[in-house]
Structure 1
């Protein structure tokens, strides 16, 4: 990775990229990342780390999204409640059949309009799916009836007792971990940007589980690191 310094930045891209990768790959706070960098001889404040995230997070998210391979044609959708600045919000999330996150959207409501907005956002980025899996929330069915492009697709509702079969339920766990590590989310826009990049970073490493042989897992991790470095260079 090139060690060129972005304009008006004291540290090179290798340091900035390493700090952002630690922050978004693991449930660490900015002060935790500051301490890890300090152990490696890099003196940087947590406020600088915050500014790096504000500047580079949206750019990295877009760059990683464009570099992702084609996703599956089976969508699993679900929503979870998160507190942002003491106000209840709903995090809408969609994954494919392999567990890769397609997109997330933070909204204040859980009604038909919110579900429709999320479907439109997904259709702007991906092809029409073959099957859509959701829970029993009525807003999904109402939104699907309003979107004629999805009328011909198979729609499957997963009952509450079978939620363990819904892949998106498991994809909420990293979000809860990040929420605890940051002692809660403070601002809606920053939360959306952070979770969007966190989802793309999770996609880079989602296939390096223990079920993958050790050699293949190391090669996948190396490929994910190279993809991150390339995206960091383009974003800068």
Structure 2
């Protein structure tokens, strides 16, 4: 154990960032993160970690989303069934040809309207791709035909056995690991926020092979000030 004096009253932004990075980067529980911080002489309760996650995860995810570099011209899309609070949802996911996450979205249905909603959300963030690669789900083809911006896009349908859509199918695995570690997702809003930040942190490691801490330190001072104002002099 280290003999460094623990942080009992004030928690610098770097500690909050590091705690959230640990939680979202690796399949750890709040109590796991609590123990890792205690090894470094930082005493913080798992309840405080939970509060930090609720308050600051949306802020960090939004900051990382706007600082993402331009994506590739080929989209790989897939959907997987998951349970949130005992209710079945479909987790829609899209990655580019480099395996970098484009977006994730939880929806109740797996129909054409759900596919259109997800595609419209992607088009609001990124340039129109040259190719969209999907499985044989008919909802994708119907949604692409109904969206004017995608009329000239090549739609490639593949079967799972062909392994052509492996990039997006493999990207579901970290989410499954987190779901098992948390003993299932419980609330829709919290789950969507968690998946958003989890995706952007994973992207940083895919793109730059650096930690999210170094990335956030280069972010604008306004975000850091806003986070610190929220924290204040919180006592663990």
TM-score (norm 2): 0.87
Q: 1:231 to 1:83 in 2, by over 3 A?
A: farther
| DSSP-derived class of the 1:227 partner | helix
Please report how far the alpha carbon of residue 171 of structure 1 lies from its aligned counterpart in structure 2 after TM superposition. 0.4
* Contact 2:21/2:213, CA 8 A, preserved across alignment: no
Give runs of aligned pairs for residues 61-100 of structure 1, distance below 5 A: 61-100=61-100
2:158 aligned residue: 158
Give runs of aligned pairs for residues 56-205 of structure 1, distance below 5 A: 56-163=56-163, 165-205=165-205
Please report how far the alpha carbon of residue 140 of structure 1 lies from its aligned counterpart in structure 2 after TM superposition. 0.5
1:230 aligned residue: 218
1:211 aligned residue: none
Q: Aligned equivalents of 2:188 and 2:88: distance in 1?
A: 11
Report whether the alignment pairs 1:221 with 2:210.
Answer: yes
Q: Aligned equivalents of 2:160 and 2:69: distance in 1?
A: 32
> Pairwise CA RMSD of aligned residues?
1.6
Please report how far the alpha carbon of residue 146 of structure 1 lies from its aligned counterpart in structure 2 after TM superposition. 1.1
Unaligned runs of 5+ in 2: 1-8, 228-236
Unaligned runs of 5+ in 1: 1-8, 209-219
What's the CA shift string for 1:87-135, capped at 9, x where partnerless? 1111100000000000010111111111000001000000110000000
Q: Aligned equivalents of 2:73 and 2:144: distance in 1?
A: 16
| DSSP-derived class of the 2:93 partner | strand
Please report how far the alpha carbon of residue 159 of structure 1 lies from its aligned counterpart in structure 2 after TM superposition. 1.3
Please report how far the alpha carbon of residue 228 of structure 1 lies from its aligned counterpart in structure 2 after TM superposition. 3.0
Please report how far the alpha carbon of residue 163 of structure 1 lies from its aligned counterpart in structure 2 after TM superposition. 3.5
* Contact 2:78/2:94, CA 8 A, preserved across alignment: yes
* Contact 2:73/2:128, CA 8 A, preserved across alignment: yes
TM-score (norm 1): 0.87
What's the CA shift string for 1:62-103, capped at 9, x where partnerless? 100111111101000000111101111111000000000000
Q: Aligned equivalents of 2:215 and 2:191: distance in 1?
A: 24
Q: Aligned equivalents of 2:31 and 2:219: distance in 1?
A: 25
Q: Aligned equivalents of 1:188 and 1:232: distance in 2?
A: 30
